[in-house]
Amino acid sequence: MPDVVVVGEIGRDLVLGVDAIPEPGGSADVTARREVLGGKGANQAVGLRCLAVGVGLVGVVGDDAAGADVLAQAERDGIDVSGVVRRAGAPTALLVDVVEPDGVRRLLESVDDAVRLTAEDVRAAEPLIASARLLLVQLQQPGPAVREALRLARAHGVRVVADGAPADDETRRAVLGGASVVRADDTEAALLLDRDLGGVDAAVDAAAALLDAGPDVVALAVGTEANVLAWSGGQVVMPLIDSEPVDPTGGGDAFVAGLAAALLRGDAPEAAGWFASAAAAATVSHLGGRPDLDRARLDEVARLTRAEHDAAPR
């Protein structure tokens, strides 16, 4: 039985590297191409697998060839796909990530409503969820599915990590009331709090406000500057780790996978935060959102970065 169940999007990810986006009417040679299992849920699951965590995935693919392909890849990745729904007649999600040099990314998303999770889809995965130690919910999914996942986690005493912005107000209340860990990028944090945020100070305040609302750990991204991590008893502003960003896709998904894996192995929140940051930095340094994480390497980067941060004058 998996340690972590991830509820979220599954799709086919087509990553194309180009020297420059062509002008309207023009064309360009593709310099790099990858076609892989993708989508936020799948990427988080792959990240956890890289870190030797047992993972089950709950999501929807179509009954088309792409669906069969990505499911087969998920199985090769060692992911339990018993909670994945193959929806008759639905087209599997296609995500096209076009990347120019220096990490300039354009994302095209073809995600039919039919491949979004319903509450019934999630309920069908109850045995899987009940057996997990941790449930990772991607909030991009529709409100009823997210709320059902939270309800099942509560019923079975499973700790919840939520990533993203809730679809509606009812879901937002359910997330803040039911999730132990909440993570969001800048835009998502503004939606969680219903106010605009800008800069580190605003994110620190926002993280404190979110902690008051229920979660034990809150992680918020602050643009190209930092990630703020707050927990009952402390907080840390973690500057981004120096890396050559090749493609920003999947940074957040790797962050949340790293955070979940580290908390699961018993790391204290701050250590888990540095580990998560190292996972994000590793993922944005290659093309495509599919993470390729090495636990020992992340531990080393996290240790060095934290030591550097603690030694810096403030």
Ligand X SMILES: Nc1ncnc2c1ncn2[C@@H]1O[C@H](COP(=O)(O)OP(=O)(O)O)[C@@H](O)[C@H]1O
Residues in contact with ligand X by CB under 6 A are 185, 221, 227, 240-241, 243, 245, 249-253, 255, 277, 280-281, 284
DSSP secondary structure code for residue 159 in this structure? E
Binding partner of residue 247 among ligand X, Mg ion, none, CB under 5 to 8 Å per kind?
none
Binding partner of residue 243 among ligand X, Mg ion, none, CB under 5 to 8 Å per kind?
ligand X
Q: Which is nearer to ligand X, 231 or 255 (CB)?
A: 255
Binding partner of residue 9 among ligand X, Mg ion, none, CB under 5 to 8 Å per kind?
none
Residue 45, φ and ψ in degrees, nearest 5: -65, -40
Distance in Å, CB of 256 to Mg ion, minimum:
8
Binding partner of residue 240 among Mg ion, ligand X, none, CB under 5 to 8 Å per kind?
ligand X
User: What's the rounded Cα separation, in Å, for the pair 53 and 205?
Assistant: 33
Q: Which is nearer to ligand X, 171 or 227 (CB)?
A: 227
SS3 sequence of 85-122: EEECCCCCEEEEEEEEHHHEEEEEEECCHHHCCCHHHH
Q: Which is nearer to Mg ion, 138 or 305 (CB)?
A: 138
Give which of 34, 156, 136 is closest to 79, Cα–Cα: 136
Q: Which is nearer to Mg ion, 40 or 87 (CB)?
A: 40
- Binders of Mg ion in range 230-259 (CB under 5 A): 252
Q: Which is nearer to ligand X, 152 or 246 (CB)?
A: 246
Q: How many residues bind Mg ion (CB under 5 A)?
A: 1
Binding partner of residue 80 among ligand X, Mg ion, none, CB under 5 to 8 Å per kind?
none
The answer to whether the beta carbons of residues 160 and 194 sit under 8 Å apart is no
Distance in Å, CB of 283 to Mg ion, minimum:
11
Binding partner of residue 250 among Mg ion, ligand X, none, CB under 5 to 8 Å per kind?
ligand X
- Binders of Mg ion in range 248-307 (CB under 5 A): 252
Q: Which is nearer to ligand X, 41 or 252 (CB)?
A: 252
User: What's the rounded Cα separation, in Å, for the pair 2 and 97?
Assistant: 30
Distance in Å, CB of 60 to ligand X, minimum:
19
Query: How many angstroms from the chain centroid is the CA of residue 292?
Result: 14
Those residues whose C-beta lies under 8 Å from the C-beta of residue 205, and which sit 6 or more positions away, are none
Distance in Å, CB of 203 to ligand X, minimum:
11
Token duo for residue 248: 């920003």
SS3 sequence of 197-231: CCHHHHHHHHHHHHHHCCCCEEEEEECCCEEEEEE
What number of H helices and E strands is found in the chain? 11, 13
User: What's the rounded Cα separation, in Å, for the pair 185 and 223?
Assistant: 8
Output the residue with the shortest Cβ distance to ligand X. Answer: 252
User: What's the rounded Cα separation, in Å, for the pair 30 and 105?
Assistant: 14
Distance in Å, CB of 297 to ligand X, minimum:
14
Q: Which is nearer to Mg ion, 252 or 288 (CB)?
A: 252
Q: Which is nearer to ligand X, 174 or 241 (CB)?
A: 241
Distance in Å, CB of 46 to ligand X, minimum:
12
Those residues whose C-beta lies under 8 Å from the C-beta of residue 151, and which sit 6 or more positions away, are none
- Biggest alpha carbon distance in the chain? 59
Distance in Å, CB of 82 to ligand X, minimum:
25
Binding interface with Mg ion (CB under 5 A) = 252
